[in-house]
Structure 1
Amino acid sequence: MRQLLLVGMVVLVAATGIVTASAAAEPAGHGDQAAFDRVRDAQIAAWAKGDGVAFAATFTADADLVTFNGDYLKTREGIAKGMQYYFDHFIKGSRIKPLSEHVRYLEPDAAIIVRQTCLLSPGESECRDGSLSVNTNVLVKQRGHWLQASFQNTRVVPLPTGS
């Protein structure tokens, strides 16, 4: 519950723009973007292979993940098990295509990355209607390595025009 509350507070902070000066930009010389890219790329590769354990390896041991349909997966083990179920039954052969991202530091060892991605079904190379999502990734630096502490994925469902 504490982690869910923290995620809600972090999302609220990110959405309202209420952050400390250290959160405004990447600290000079830290080279964290390359580390963030490695975490993202490892997650994308694990997704493409349908490997729940490799996907969960990008998370801290006590991490949590909220899927686009609202399922709440807790701990690296729970994420591995839950994601493997999705890979085997619902998203087999799919891939993630990253589209954009925005990094915001809360502290030198805590960052929020908001990414826009789309889900590519087997044989697709471009995003299609209904495949777009926005995810909020809370990363923490532990023993010199960045890992995801929390991940919230939201499918983009545009409001109907004229409403």
Structure 2
Amino acid sequence: MPSQRTKRAAVLGATVVVLGGLMVPTALPAVGRSAPTQNAHGATHDALKEFERLRQRQADAWARQDGAAFAATFTLNGDVVTFNGDHLRTRQGIAVGMQYYFDKYIPDNTIRYLDEHVRFAGPRLAIIVRTTCLVDAGQSDCRDDSLSTNTNVMTRHQGRWLQESFQNTRVDPLP
């Protein structure tokens, strides 16, 4: 029978292998790059192009204040955790919840993307962390209170990428 120490070593070793497999850095494609390349998990830069299209669809839906179009970038069972901690569940729930926010709380504005880090955790799983802000209609600069860090979990099903989960956290620096 293995000792407690042997069991702990086996668990630790397995954890390192699993976590190590998740840490595959992937840079955004360079403008004008012609042939997509694969990372260690077989994900291509074509996936990055799909992520960009989804990001743009979501930004366009936001600018139009269209909850259904915003939700269409998610899987049927997707999740959104909003900046205030509300948890919207399922594509339909996201559509209804976002439309409510657009109608009641979100003024006319656009999303500005400031930074993005993409990493692939497998051939059908990617994590995107973005820094964004909101630019109010008629303005050119980010609104002071709108800086956010967003985490997107992207999954590939039936040949296409969609958002599985999205968490939006307002940046609130410590004093």
TM-score (norm 1): 0.83
Q: Which runs of 4+ in 1 moved over 2 A?
A: 21-29
Gaps of 5+ in 1: 1-17
- Structure-2 separation of matches of 1:19 and 1:131: 34
- Structure-2 separation of matches of 1:137 and 1:21: 15
Please say if residues 136 and 142 of structure 2, whose CA atoms lie closer than 8 Å, have aligned partners that are also in contact. no
Gaps of 5+ in 2: 1-18, 28-37
Deviations 1:23-68 (A, max 9, x none): 3337347211110000100000000000000000000000000000
Query: Residues 8-87 of structure 1: matches in 2 within 5 Å?
Result: 18-20=19-21, 23-25=24-26, 27-28=38-39, 30=44, 31-87=46-102
- Structure-1 separation of matches of 2:71 and 2:21: 30
1:132 to partner: Cα distance: 0.4
Please say if residues 136 and 143 of structure 2, whose CA atoms lie closer than 8 Å, have aligned partners that are also in contact. no
* Coordinate RMSD, CA, aligned: 1.6
- Structure-2 separation of matches of 1:32 and 1:156: 28
Q: How many residues align?
A: 143
Hey, what does 1:10 align to over in structure 2? Answer: none
| Secondary structure of residue in 2 paired with 1:92 | coil
- Structure-2 separation of matches of 1:34 and 1:89: 33
| Secondary structure of residue in 1 paired with 2:83 | coil
Find the partner of 1:133 among 138, 148, 165.
Answer: 148
TM-score (norm 2): 0.77
Q: Given the superposition, is the C-alpha separation of residues 19 and 57 from structure 1 closer, same or farther in structure 2, using an over 3 Å criterion?
A: farther
Instruction: Give the percent of matched residue pairs that are identical in Structure 1 and Structure 2.
Output: 55
1:119 to partner: Cα distance: 1.2
- Structure-1 separation of matches of 2:23 and 2:130: 20
